Amino acid sequence: MTQRASRMRDRVAGVVAPAVLIVACALAWEAVARFGGFPPKLLPDLPTIAHAFVRLLESGTLAAATGATLARLGAGFALAAVVGVSVGVLMGRYLIVEDTLLPIVSFLYPIPGIAYAPLFVMWFGLGDLPSVLLVGVSASFTIIINAWKGVRAVRPIWLRSAHSMGADERTIFVKVILPASLPYVLTGLRLGLASAWRILVAVEMLMSVQQGLGWLIFGSQQFLNTDVMLATIAVIGAIGMLLEKQLFERVERYTLVRWGMMTA
Amino acid sequence: MSASPNRRRQVTVRGTLGIVAFLAVYEAFARSGMFSTAITPPLEIIGVAFVSSLAGGYIFLQAGATLLRVAIGMALALTIAVPLGMLMGRSRLAERALAPLVSILMPIPSLAWVPLIVLWFGIGNTATILVVVYAATFPLLFNVWTGVRTVNQMWIRAAVVMGASRACVFRQVVLPAALPFVITGMRLAFGRAWIAVIGGELLASPQTGLGKVIFDANEYLNADVMLSALVVIGAIGLFFERMVFHRLERSTVERWGMTAQTRR
């Protein structure tokens, strides 16, 4: 009874404490926005931001921008996943590929993708193509590194026993290497998607694409529409959280946890 | 880690061949006439641009400005994230109150804030540094929090039983036990900060910096300057990742035996 009571109290505290803090933050924002002496054009109060959000939603601008951004993210990420996993797996499986590519990969890896943006504009013009390519390039390195590590971390004993039981190279690859390296590959894909998402918003600002959440923020700056900017930033954060929480945790649960390779 | 001299030579030869092949492909691409040499300059011209950027220490000044922004941003992020993370790790109430706020703000890419920060603080140094702070704070905070939370309870209880005061437990047990996470957090934070500072310099146009060099070169179609700045950006990133953080981890965390050696 007392245990249940304390658990109840725990749960109540778990809801109340964050709610109190978030309400406090909202009130603080509201107070500063209204009485802080800042121009409301620069620091809009919460009803204004909410109103901007509703307006964007009703006019379909937000949906169109989100759709365009997600399409770019999907295309860029697909590119990065295909290139990254293949290169990484080859590097992990064949020593000669590893020796040849590792110096280049380790040099290119720490260059922020966004630094290529002006160069890609020169090469491919403005718009969708360079944005997708840039997102693809900058996300692929994390995926390469993780896939490579994953294949290298496959236990030699598994390979040897599969080999001695008469499995050919293809079977070993499909039945042993791929499943065994999957935890690393999935980690790489998750990190790759996160970095693609972070870079994409900035890329859209630099590439002046037709539509997109990054462009919505950047375009609103010209007209001092801070309410639109803040509403868009909130949407960006929500999508980032969904991508991280929903998509990959679900994939991991369906594969790794089910196969007993990871505890939930 | 004891590779035979033969193997070591093999690695060097293959690595060199890989780099030479990569450069040769670029050179062929540059001279193929697919793009004008103004936007895909041959290596020779990039080399000349690099050497002339060394003259008078120009590139060092720019790199110094960028690194100074990263240093200030990281220092501010550390002063925010370490105490907050420790508080969240130690106090249930603080964790409950702050965790939702952190999980709302964390998935927002730092560069999405740039246009808004520019409106609030003007273009230039302050805006760029604030972007770096935003980018670096969350990986640090998250790691410190996790580190403090996952300190082995047995160690704390043992210390308490032996009569250690709260302050003593914190200083002698919690802090050292959380240190590996702090160091990992710093490495991740630097990676994010490095992306954010270049993006910030491209978007918030401060007076100096490597991102600014690229941005300015873009105006005059100086692809050679852009590429040589990219090489510098990559070299600095690689230097910090390998020489600074990797070494730091090896001389602290690994030496204390706090991480499993995963290298074969």
Domain identity same for A185 and A144? yes
Q: Which residue has the higher pLDDT, B257 or B233?
A: B233
Count of domains observed in chain A: 2
Record the tokens describing residue A242, joined without a space.
């969904």
Kindly state the percentage of chain B with pLDDT values over 90: 30
Contacts of B15 in chain A (CB under 8 A): 99-100, 102-103
For residue A264, tell me if it sits in a domain. Answer: no
pLDDT at B1 (0 to 100): 47
Structural domain includes residue B131: yes
If we measure between CA atoms, which residue out of A139, A235, A143 comes closest to residue B109?
A: A235
A214 lies in the same domain as A180 = yes
Residue A119 Cα, gap to closest chain B Cα (Å): 7
CA distance A170 to chain B (A): 25
Q: What is the pLDDT of residue B261?
A: 40
Please give the pLDDT value at position A65.
92
Q: Which domain holds residue A69?
A: 41-257
Total residue count of chain A as it appears in this document: 264
Give contacts of A217 with chain B, Cβ < 8 Å. Answer: 112, 115-116
> Do both B25 and B46 map to the same domain?
no
Nearest-by-Cβ selection for B112 from A107, A226, A233: A233
Beta-carbon separation of A233 and B101 below 8 A? no
- Which residues of chain A neighbour B218 with C-beta distances below 8 Å? 118, 121-122
CA-based nearest distance B192→chain A, Å: 9
Q: What is the 3-state secondary structure (H, E, C) of chain B?
A: CCCCHHHHHHHHHHHHHHHHHHHHHHHHHHHCCCCCCCCCCCHHHHHHHHHHHHHHHHHHHHHHHHHHHHHHHHHHHHHHHHHHHHHHHHCHHHHHHHHHHHHHHCCCCHHHHHHHHHHHHCCCHHHHHHHHHHHHHHHHHHHHHHHHHCCCHHHHHHHHHCCCCHHHHHHHHHHHHHHHHHHHHHHHHHHHHHHHHHHHHHHCCCCCCHHHHHHHHHHCCCHHHHHHHHHHHHHHHHHHHHHHHHHHHHHHHHCCCCCCCCCC
> Do residues A230 and A236 touch, judged by C-beta distance below 8 A?
no
Q: Region B93-109: what's the mean pLDDT?
A: 85
Q: What is the CATH number of the domain that holds A251?
A: 1.10.3720.10
Same domain membership, residue B107 and residue B71: yes
Under an 8 A CB cutoff, do B97 and A13 touch?
A: no
B263 to chain A: closest CA residue: A153
* pLDDT the model gives residue A87: 95
Q: Does the pLDDT value for residue B262 go beyond 50?
A: no
Residue A226 lies in a domain: yes
- A16 and A62 both lie in a single domain: no
- Tens of pLDDT, residue by residue over B152-208, are 888 888 998 998 888 888 888 888 888 888 888 998 899 899 999 999 998 888 888
Are B98 and B55 in the same domain?
Answer: yes
One domain for residues A33 and A145: no
Rounded to 5°, the CA angle A107-A113-A117 comes to 125
Query: CA of A146, closest CA in chain B: separation in Å?
Result: 14
Q: Smallest Cβ distance to B202: which of A42, A114, A123?
A: A114
Q: What is the pLDDT of residue B264?
A: 34
Beta carbons of A110 and B194 less than 8 Å apart:
yes
Residues A28 and A79 in one domain: no
> What is the pLDDT, as a whole number, of residue A231?
92
Q: Which positions in chain B touch A206 (Cβ < 8 Å)?
A: 202-203
List the domain range (segments joined by +) for residue B128.
37-254
To the nearest whole angstrom, how far is the Cα of B172 from the nearest Cα of chain A?
30
- Work out how many domains chain B is built from and give that number: 2
Digit-coded pLDDT (tens) for B5-36:
888 888 888 889 989 999 999 898 888 877 78
Chain A interface mutation, best of B39, B195, B222, B261, highest count of A Cβ atoms under 10 Å: B195
Predicted confidence at residue A264, as pLDDT, reads 46
What is the average pLDDT score of chain B? 86
Return the pLDDT at A142: 92
Q: So what's the pLDDT on residue A263?
A: 54
A98 with A111, same domain: the answer is yes
Q: What pLDDT, on the 0 to 100 scale, is given for residue A82?
A: 96
- Residues A62 and A29 occupy one common structural domain: no
**In chain A, whose CA is at the least distance from the CA of B17?**
A100
d(CA A54, CA B153): 49
Assess whether pLDDT exceeds 50 at residue B263. Answer: no
Q: Which of B10, B105, B119 sits opposite A42 (nearest CB)?
A: B119
Give yes or no: residues B68 and B14 share one domain: no
- Residue B260, pLDDT > 70, answer no
Q: Supply A64's token pair.
A: 């169109």
Q: B260 lies in a domain?
A: no
The residue in chain B having the minimum alpha-carbon distance to the alpha carbon of residue A201 is B112
Q: For residue A198, which residues of chain B lie inside 8 Å, CB to CB?
A: 109-111, 195
Asked if residue A122 belongs to a domain, the reply is yes
Shared domain check, B3 and B43: no
> Could you tell me the CA-to-CA distances from B62 to B65, B220, B233 in Å, in that order?
5, 18, 11
Question: In chain B, what is the straight-line distance between the N-terminal and C-terminal CA atoms, in Å?
Answer: 8
Same-domain pairing of B157 and B238:
yes
- Residue in A107, A123, A214 nearest the CB of B112: A214
Domain annotation covers residue A263: no
Residue A19 domain-assigned?
Answer: yes
Q: What is the ipTM of this complex?
A: 0.81
Residues B64 and B76 in one domain: yes
Read off the pLDDT of each residue in B225-251 and give the average, rounded to a whole number: 85
Give the closest of A103, A115, A233 to B113, CB-based: A233
Tell whether A69 is covered by a domain. yes
Contact B111 A229 (CB under 8 A): no
Residue of A nearest to B217 (CA): A118
- pLDDT by residue (tens digit) across B42-65? 898 999 988 988 887 888 999 999
The reported pLDDT for the residue numbered B222 is 85
- B148 and B75 assigned to the same domain: yes
Residues in chain B within 8 Å Cβ distance of A96:
14
Task: Give the side-chain half-sphere CA count within 13 A for A192.
Answer: 34
From chain B, pick out residues whose CB is under 8 angstroms from the CB of A201. 109, 111-112
B16 lies in the same domain as B47: no
Residue of B nearest to A16 (CA): B97
Give the chain B residue whose CA is nearest to the CA of A106: B238
Place of tokens 């978030």: A22
Mean pLDDT on B231-247: 85
- Would you write out chain A's pLDDT as a tens digit for each of its 264 residues? 466 777 777 777 777 777 888 888 889 888 888 887 788 888 888 889 999 999 999 998 899 999 999 999 999 999 999 999 999 999 998 889 999 998 899 888 888 888 888 888 888 888 889 999 999 999 999 999 999 999 988 888 888 898 899 888 888 888 888 888 888 898 899 889 988 998 999 999 888 778 889 889 988 888 888 999 999 999 998 898 888 777 777 777 777 666 666 554
Q: Each residue of A136-164: pLDDT tens digit?
A: 999 999 999 999 999 988 888 888 898 89
Provide the residue count of chain B. 264
Return the CATH number at B137. Answer: 1.10.3720.10
Model pLDDT, residue B139: 92
